[in-house]
Amino acid sequence: MEMNGAQAVIDALIEEGVDTIFGYPGGGIMPFYDQLYFNQDKLNHILVRHEQAAVHAAEGYARSSGRVGVCVATAGPGATNFVTGIADAMMDSTPIVCITAQVQKEGLGASSFQEADIISITLPITKWNYEITCADEIAPVMAKAFRIAQSGRPGPVVISITKNAQTEITDFNYVKESTEIKYELPEEGLDRAVDWINRSKKPLIIAGHGVIISKAEEALSRFAIKTGMPVASTMMGLSCVPSDHPNYIGCVGMHGSHAPNRMTQQADLIIAVGMRFSDRVTGNAKGYAKNAHIIHIEIDPVEIGKSVRADLPIVGDARQVLEALNARDIKCQARPEWWTLAREVASKEAVRLTATQLAEKHGLTMATVVQRISMLAGNNKIVVTDVGQNQMFAARFSYFADRRSWISSGGLGTMGYGLPAAIGAKVANPDKNVIVFMGDGGFQMNIQELGTILQSKIGVKMVLMNNSWLGMVRQWQELFYDKRYSFTYLENPDFQKIAQAYDIPCARVTSLDTLDEAIEQMLNTDGAFLLEACVGDGENVFPMIPAGATIDKIFMDKDFTQL
């Protein structure tokens, strides 16, 4: 069917089942926006206030739904404003298609107005990128973009479209590409894995984001129960099994729980599923899991042996591999001593670190705020975070019942991620409670998105941890830089007035006595809400494994109690 290039882009999105896109218009992308004007009943467009936010919103949409997120920007500064979001999606294997405009084909290379070579700029931070210079390329390139973004290890794709390609006429014929990849699994490797599992006395499964991406949650749960093995998750893997799963023992890593970190060092077998041994998980990789054989189940061969040795690599999709293992003859073993250790270490930690205790010691704390919200909000919620202490407390004290209920920037650690990612998650899940935890620093990095919430009526529950500090950096300055607080104090505006200016209901809580009441008010208010918790300024996140240390060095509290 004949149509202009702009309509072809829109029809390609519709063919791919896209219902919502996040974007911001400008000169180069005007033909697309003009065509969108006639297609508003078919494609929902959320007008953000900054292009970086469009990418994070697409990420939040993708991660909370398992579908591809889409964002749109104009040429030049619109496209370059995408860069941080694209790098974030690359690090966290998030399937997004980012559409940017480009100047007319004839103007390429002439330093034309708003010409930026977004293809070269994003080459190292995309799974694939491509510049379309004529309308006939649109259908096949868009089909390829969607296939690449979501197949195998997902990631961001940038499609730059010259202005002439948007206005030229093309005969649109769209053929969707299959994203199914059937991995040829190594029979011998699977047999060896079963043998190691059956002989192991101290096994530990560490589940990462790949479990969620490949929708392997059920297979993982069955595998853990069938083998009787404890399961830990990485921060990116949170919510891949419910917090109260009988085999779940917590989160590993720099601010992970004591038990799984300690058990990593004592385990004789580690089964790493869909995780990449990031330095935030391993600490000093040389001293990592010294006593264990490591089975690494991973879809991306580049990750095998990259930072930690794999004694038995199994390249494949996490679900396919776990299902293949589940179909084999694995013995369930009680391993009472190993489980006793897990429970002992965990209970020791619980005694030291319950949120209630922290509250008794320090008054209103981030930990208490997270824990109370988690309890009062119940299930059917998605927890989104920004970056910093708020993120680590949210990871540690949230209770996860549902799949895909944790969305946070892991690999890049992008401040400013939380608010727009929550917008994307809420758009994809209008019936769920989407709660975003932010620090006062990160909130102000994309605070303009309150305008998006106002205009598009997005019912995100915002929890602002106001401590007047860039808390996580302040913590490191306290612990490792002799309390030299170099430029981490924030003179803040009145956030209540800001919320009011955007017509967003809000409340400020300054003490524990009124916390529950304020949370109920937030949860019972229709639509968006800003809950500002004025928390103490000296709170630190523990446990903590100092950067570069081996994970045996776990600091538990202010006095550096090392366990």
Ligand X SMILES: Cc1ncc(C[n+]2csc(CCOP(=O)(O)OP(=O)(O)O)c2C)c(N)n1
* Closer residue to ligand X (CB): 539 or 552: 539
Is residue 342 within 8 Å of residue 312, measured between CB atoms? Answer: no
Q: How far is CA 520 from CA 339, 517, 523, 525, in A?
A: 38, 5, 5, 8
In whole angstroms, the minimum distance from the beta carbon of 370 to ligand X comes to: 11
Residue 537 beta carbon to ligand X: minimum distance, rounded to whole angstroms: 9
CB nearer to ligand X: pick between 255 and 319 = 255
If the CB atoms of residues 250 and 416 are measured against ligand X, the closer one turns out to be 416
**146 has catalytic annotation:** no
- Is residue 114 among the annotated active site residues? yes
Of the two residues 214 and 391, which places its CB atom closer to ligand X in the complex? 391
Catalytic annotation on 472?
A: yes
Q: Which residues bind ligand X (CB under 6 A)?
A: 386-390, 413-416, 439-442, 465, 467, 469-473
- Smallest distance, Å, CB 390 to ligand X? 4
Show the CA angle centred on residue 384, arms to residues 379 and 389, nearest 5°: 115
Given 82, 90, 163, 529, which residue is catalytic? 163
Query: Smallest distance from the beta carbon of 475 to ligand X, in angstroms?
Result: 7
Q: Please, which residue, 298 or 539, has the CB nearer to ligand X?
A: 539
- Measured CA to CA, the distance from residue 91 to residue 297 in angstroms comes to 18
Q: Closest distance between ligand X and the C-beta of residue 391, in Å?
A: 7
Q: How far is the CB of 366 from ligand X (least distance, A)?
A: 7
Amino acid identity, position 532 = E
Catalytic residue among 472, 475, 477, 495: 472
* Nearest CA among 199, 201, 223 for reference residue 322: 223
Least separation, in Å, of the C-beta of 535 and ligand X? Answer: 9
Cβ closest to ligand X, residue 58 vs residue 447: 447
Q: Which residue is nearest to ligand X (CB)?
A: 439
* Smaller CB separation from ligand X, 33 or 437: 437
Q: Is 38 a catalytic residue?
A: no
Cβ proximity to ligand X, 210 vs 388, nearer residue: 388
Would you state the structure tokens that stand for residue 87, as one six-digit string? 């790098």
Q: Can 226 be counted among the known catalytic residues?
A: no
Q: What is the DSSP letter of 241?
A: S
The 10 Å Cβ neighbour count of residue 82 is: 30
Helix, strand, coil percentages in the chain from 3-state DSSP, rounded to 5: 45, 20, 40
Of the candidates 90, 84, 551, 425, which has an alpha carbon nearest to the alpha carbon of residue 276? 90
Measured CA distances, 514 to 510, 531, 532, 533, 537 (Å)? 8, 12, 12, 10, 19
Nearest approach, Cβ of residue 435 and ligand X (Å): 15
Query: What's the min distance (Å) between Cβ of 79 and ligand X?
Result: 19
Closer Cβ to ligand X, 357 or 492, answer by number:
492
Question: How far out from the chain centre does Cα 12 lie?
Answer: 27
The one catalytic residue in 7, 22, 51, 166 is 51
**SS3 track for 383-446:** EEECCCHHHHHHHHHCCCCCCCCEECCCCCCCCCCHHHHHHHHHHHCCCCEEEEEEEHHHHCCC
The two three-digit tokens of residue 213, written as one number: 């991406």
DSSP string, 48-107: -SSHHHHHHHHHHHHHHHSS-EEEEE-STHHHHTTHHHHHHHHHTT--EEEEEEE--GGG
438: closest CA among 461, 404, 410, 406?
461
Question: What DSSP designation does 178 have?
Answer: P
Q: Produce one character per residue of 417-447: b if its CB has 16 or more CB atoms within 10 Å, e if not.
A: bbbbbbbbbbbbbeebbbbbbbbbbbbbbbb
- The whole-angstrom separation of Cα 511 and Cα 108 is 59
Q: Which of 336, 533, 353, 304 is nearest to 438 (CA)?
A: 533
Which one-letter DSSP state was computed for residue 555? B
Catalytic residue among 38, 113, 480, 560: 113
Query: The tokens of 113 are what?
Result: 């107005």
* Given the residues 30, 104, 114, 306, the one annotated as active site: 114
Catalytic annotation, residues: 51, 113-114, 163, 472
